[in-house]
Chains A and B, each alone.
Chain A
Amino acid sequence: MTMMQASGRRPSRISAGTIGIYAFLLIAAVFFLLPAWIMLMTSLKPMEEIRLGNILMWPNAVTFEPWIRAWSEACTGLDCRGVSVGFWNSVRILIPSLILSIAAGAVTGYALSFWRVRGANVMFGLLLLGAFIPYQVFLYPLVRIFAVTGIYNSFACIVLVHVIFGLPIMTLLFRNYYASLPVELFKAARVDGGGFWSIFIRIILPMSTPILIVATILQVTGIWNDFLFGLTFAGRDNLPMTVQLNNIVSSRQGESQYNTEMAATILTAMIPLAVYFISGRWFVRGIASGAVKG
């Protein structure tokens, strides 16, 4: 009788545990992917096939017509110009809101972490508190204020709202980042004669690239995905894509064009998804750095 001596690499065995782990992860993946898959399939089918067929199935005849219709023909009430209108509105809202809210957050965070201003900590505490309060608490008075100042229902209005409500998270983000920079760097710049703005622009800002990326990711997805502010402040002519999408779906009359609606939905998700897939780990970092979102 020969004895097997244990020697060298242990023969690998696929244990029940390993199978269990993969089985769970795969089932979970199906759960997470299913809605997206169904949306995609629906958007590629003609209506007849949707009525008869299986929502999971690959289309018999792939058609891109719903996508074209969603982009340029879908109707919101009587206005049939497609979600492209909302898309461009969202772009026009996004760009100034993004730049201004990041600039405001960076400057505020910088001032809070390196400079002494009486009452600044109290102000910061209240700002953070503001991030947690439901927006419904502020909306109506804000509407009144904007109506009185005459900018209600305009681009300026929606941009201002995004900057105001982006301020807590942006400030927190930059303040925490700046607090992690070595203080001695700031001291050296002071001895070298740097002032508030020259230290910020020449020394602090060039070191801020990582946090600027995180802030951009957070704000692009946050502002693009906004529904409430767009609905309340943007005005009929400037409605962002999310609001327009919801209007298209809810104002349908007769049998809905499900394929067109799903194409429009995917189109609306496109920008944040692109940011998500491209940014990868940065997106995760954004979440980890204290995401207070929507």
Chain B
Amino acid sequence: MSSVSIRDLTVAFGSTRVLNGLSLDVQAGEFIVLLGPSGCGKSTLLNAVAGLLDVADGQVWIGERNVTWHEPKDRGIAMVFQSYALYPRMNVRNNMAFGLRMAKTPKAEIEERVTRAAELLQISHLLDRRPDQLSGGQRQRVAIGRALVRDAHVFLFDEPLSNLDAQLRNELRVEIKKLHQKIDTTTMIYVTHDQIEALTLADRIVVMKDQKIQQMGTPDEIYLHPANLFVAGFVGSPQMNFFEGELTGGPGGAAFKSGELHLPLDGYNFNSAPVTGQRLTLGIRPEHISITENGPWQGFKTELVETHGADNLIWVGGHNHSLRLRQPGDCKPALGSPLTLAPDMSHISLFDTQTSMRI
């Protein structure tokens, strides 16, 4: 079992700093997902852990070893790539065995490890095929198998499912999750821009933007208690509803006011003491607003109903706001019908509009 510790890591390409003094601790056996939009530095971080990039400053520790200057092969890692990166002229068996051969592993042991990994991934029947004779899903399975035979302590996944179609992606996502449960001594670091993958796979999610870690936490923490406006908006689909307004009333009787909308905040767990008159942004996820007879928000009208099967997305407008509600599939209010809404007070988030941080 190996923990991974990234300490004050700086990566620079020429004069551009891609990562600047970034630190991150991953516990042994943990499944960490690095989530963020393109260019946020998550792949760079992964490549730095793998030793595939030159580090300008800082350290990378794997287990008890400082591997900052180690060759990739000496770090006890295995890696799976978005483009599979299977060696095109080798059959599946040789693809999986290549690393072991390079390490001069005895033949019998190579054979045994390849067989075991192939069985685990159900690709035993593909061992003699070449990569171009495999489907995308099979290729990625082989790529995972190639990582598996290395008996690495740390698995690095660089957007492994992004090249697959939606259905295969779901299938393999489940398999990766099961795989981690089977080999739960292995630490996994998984890079993706897909929040569903992040939420379903991760023990902890690291949300990144602009080369900085925005929030680190369990999927529930990230989803229900986003640390700032970016995380709140980036995670969750359909997106969270936001209202800009201000804080009124003193402590105890604090309330959120945005135009004609008013929401008493008793029961909200403030991170920091709010100040009356402070500009705030209120965030509520679409599923945390219910349609009731007597809620605090009246005078909304249905503008559009998107049918999603299991549930419906209802766009409502009123008081110069437009918001999305997620309702069960049988809820289809007629267009233009008046609605009264009740936000679920235990699931709202408040952010300081200026700093965009949660309060």
Contact = CB atoms under 8 A, between A and B. Distances in A.
A182 B81 CA distance: 11
A182 B73 contact: no
Interface range on chain A: under 10, 10 to 19, 20 to 34, or 35 or more? Answer: 10 to 19
How many chain B residues sit at the interface, stated as a range, is 20 to 34
A187 B83 contact: no
B89 to A, nearest CB: 4
Contact of A207 (B50, B81, B89, B143): B89
Contacts of A293: none
A185 B52 CA distance: 12
A202 interface: yes
B85 A187 contact: yes
Contacts of B81: 184, 187-188
B78 A191 contact: yes
B52 A207 contact: no
B103 A193 contact: yes
A280 interface: no
B73 A188 contact: no
B270 interface: no
Contacts of A203: 87, 89
B50 A193 contact: no
B102 interface: yes
A191 B79 contact: yes
B99 interface: yes
A170 B303 CA distance: 65
A119 interface: no
Contact of A206 (B50, B82, B89, B99): B89
Given A184-B81, A184-B83, A190 B89 contact: no
Interface in B73-94: 73, 77-79, 81-90
Given A182-B83, A192-B73, A193-B103, A187 B50 contact: yes
Interface in A173-198: 182, 184-185, 187-195, 198
Contact of A190 (B72, B84, B87, B90): B72
Contacts of B268: none
Contacts of B158: 184
A207 B130 CA distance: 13
Contact of B99 (A116, A184, A187, A193): A193
Contacts of A202: 87, 98
Given A184-B81, A202-B98, A193 B73 contact: yes
Contacts of A190: 51-52, 71-73
Nearest to B98: A192
Q: Main SS of chain B's interface residues? A: loop
Interface string A193-215: 11100100011001100000000
A206 B102 CA distance: 17
B81 to A, nearest CB: 4
Interface string A107-151: 000000000100000000000000000000000000000000000
B50 A189 contact: no
A228 B90 CA distance: 44
Residue of A184, A185, A194, A207 with highest tally of chain B CB at under 10 A:
A184
B99 A191 contact: yes
A194 B102 contact: yes
A188 B139 CA distance: 14
Given A198-B102, A202-B98, A191 B73 contact: yes
Nearest to A209: B89
A206 B90 CA distance: 9
A198 B73 CA distance: 14
A193 B102 contact: yes
Given A206-B89, A207-B89, A191 B72 contact: yes
B85 A185 contact: yes
Contacts of A194: 73, 98, 102
B78 A184 contact: no
Interface string A58-70: 0000000000000
Contacts of A187: 47, 50, 52, 72, 79, 81, 85
A97 to B, nearest CB: 28
Given A203-B87, A207-B88, A189 B82 contact: no
A192 B102 contact: yes
Contacts of A189: 87, 98
Contact of A184 (B72, B82, B103, B150): B82
B105 to A, nearest CB: 10
Interface in A225-270: none
A188 B79 contact: yes
A166 B47 CA distance: 37
Nearest to B84: A184
Nearest to B87: A203
Given A193-B103, A194-B102, A198-B102, A188 B85 contact: yes
Nearest to B143: A188
Interface string B331-350: 00000000000000000000
A96 to B, nearest CB: 27
Contacts of A193: 71-73, 99, 102-103
Interface of A: 116, 182, 184-185, 187-195, 198, 202-203, 206-207
22 contacts: A182-B85, A184-B82, A184-B85, A185-B88, A187-B81, A188-B87, A190-B52, A191-B50, A191-B72, A191-B73, A191-B78, A192-B99, A193-B71, A193-B73, A193-B99, A193-B102, A194-B98, A194-B102, A198-B102, A202-B87, A203-B89, A206-B88
| Nearest 10 CB-CB pairings of A with B | A193-B73, A192-B99, A206-B89, A193-B102, A184-B85, A188-B85, A184-B81, A191-B72, A185-B85, A191-B79
Interface of B: 47, 50-52, 54, 71-73, 77-79, 81-90, 98-99, 102-103, 143, 146, 150, 158
Given A192-B73, A202-B87, 8 more contacts: A184-B82, A184-B84, A185-B86, A188-B146, A190-B51, A191-B72, A193-B73, A194-B98
